[in-house]
């Protein structure tokens, strides 16, 4: 079946077209797909709920806010930054211990990097496990080894079957076919301590990302979905009511295609994705191509 097609129109005039591949998996079987379910890409920030598994298994002293910010790609709101600082405190670490760089367009402090919560969580894992914090971002460090094992456990693959790369925030990122990503998220509710992750994300979606993100919108506008977006137009998640995992990938990496595509593929109601000018005026819309739902 062809991928989902999402159009961007300004005053009715077509400006852009995005193709989105999508797959849903339940009980180990594909139950719905559009486009190429075998397409392989890096999970990027969609990994964060899986990367948080070693953390929640090692520490029972974390609040839901701590866990949610460890899963976040945050927008550096006051509330999100406060959550990062709180998790750093539990890690007995400071901003200087964060092994990530500065993020373009944000204040020149590592705390403002959208992955600072994940890194604070990795430092907290080091502290709980008695591991050295220096070099925690590197593939050979126990933190990254634990994250690799968590991905392999969830996806039911061998660690050496996953291609790896270096993510934008300097930690290891893992590549899987979309079908395996969906399978991993379908299994998330079954994995030890994972309910702490899913409960935290649903309790605090405002910490996980931006108010306009497809992942946050799914969690805020449904009663059973957990979702996490990743760089280059990826969205992964699970319906906790049916244990159906899903993965959507915009072929051109466009985040703006994910909301309309997810609403159509998952058959859920989400707010429209609007095109706005610098005055905040609505001048267009991003929506599924008519006749291609």
As beta bridge partners, residue 32 has 24
Helical spans, DSSP H, in 104-257:
116-129, 142-155, 178-187, 194-203, 205-208, 214-221
Is the C-alpha dihedral spanning 164, 112, 90, 79 positive or negative? Answer: negative
User: What pLDDT was estimated at residue 290?
Assistant: 72
Q: pTM value?
A: 0.96
Per-position pLDDT tens, the chain of length 293:
899 999 999 999 999 999 999 999 999 999 999 999 999 999 999 999 999 999 999 999 999 999 999 999 999 999 999 999 999 999 999 999 999 999 999 999 999 999 999 999 999 999 999 999 999 999 999 999 999 999 999 999 999 999 999 999 999 999 999 999 999 999 999 999 999 999 999 999 999 999 999 999 999 999 999 999 999 999 999 999 999 999 999 999 999 999 999 999 999 999 999 999 999 999 999 999 976 44
Look over the chain and give the mean of its residue pLDDT values, rounded to a whole number. Answer: 97
Distance separating alpha carbons of residues 55 and 271, to the nearest angstrom: 33
Of the candidates 292, 114, 293, 291, the one whose C-alpha atom is nearest the C-alpha of residue 215 is: 114
Instruction: Let me know the angle formed at the C-alpha of 15 by 12 and 20, rounded to the nearest 5 degrees.
Output: 110
The CATH code for residues 4-288 is 3.40.710
- Tokens standing for 167? 């993510």
Of the candidates 167, 163, 255, 151, the one whose C-alpha atom is nearest the C-alpha of residue 212 is: 255
Distance separating alpha carbons of residues 176 and 67, to the nearest angstrom: 24
User: What pLDDT was estimated at residue 291?
Assistant: 60
Distance separating alpha carbons of residues 141 and 173, to the nearest angstrom: 14
User: What pLDDT was estimated at residue 186?
Assistant: 98
Distance separating alpha carbons of residues 44 and 53, to the nearest angstrom: 16
User: What pLDDT was estimated at residue 293?
Assistant: 47
Task: Provide the 3-class DSSP secondary structure of residue 225.
Answer: strand
């Amino acid at each position: 079946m062809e991928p989902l097609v999402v159009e961007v129109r300004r005053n009715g005039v077509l400006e852009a077209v995005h193709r989105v591949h999508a797959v849903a998996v339940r009980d180990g079987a594909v139950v719905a797909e559009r486009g190429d379910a075998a397409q392989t890409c890096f999970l990027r920030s969609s990994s964060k709920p899986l990367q948080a598994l070693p953390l929640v298994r090692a520490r029972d002293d974390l609040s839901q806010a701590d866990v949610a910010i460890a899963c976040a790609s945050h927008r550096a709101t006051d509330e999100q930054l406060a959550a990062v600082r709180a998790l750093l405190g539990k890690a007995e670490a400071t901003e200087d211990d964060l092994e990530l760089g500065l993020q373009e367009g944000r204040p020149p402090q590592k705390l403002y990097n959208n992955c600072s919560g994940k890194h604070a969580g990795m430092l907290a894992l080091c502290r709980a496990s008695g591991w050295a914090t220096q070099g925690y971002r590197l593939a050979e460090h126990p933190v990254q080894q634990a994250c690799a094992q968590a991905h392999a456990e969830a996806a039911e693959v061998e660690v050496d079957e996953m291609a790896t790369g270096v993510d934008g925030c300097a930690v290891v990122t893992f590549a899987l076919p979309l079908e395996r990503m969906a399978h991993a998220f379908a299994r998330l509710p079954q994995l030890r301590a994972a309910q702490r992750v899913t409960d935290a994300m649903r309790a605090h979606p405002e910490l996980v990302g931006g108010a306009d993100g497809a992942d946050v919108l799914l969690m805020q506008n449904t009663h059973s979905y957990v979702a996490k977006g990743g760089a280059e137009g990826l969205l992964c998640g699970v319906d906790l009511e049916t244990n159906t995992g899903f993965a959507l990938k915009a072929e051109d990496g466009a985040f703006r295609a994910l909301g309309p595509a997810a609403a159509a593929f998952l058959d859920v109601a989400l707010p429209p994705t609007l095109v706005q000018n610098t005055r905040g005026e609505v001048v267009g819309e991003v929506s599924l191509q008519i006749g291609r739902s």
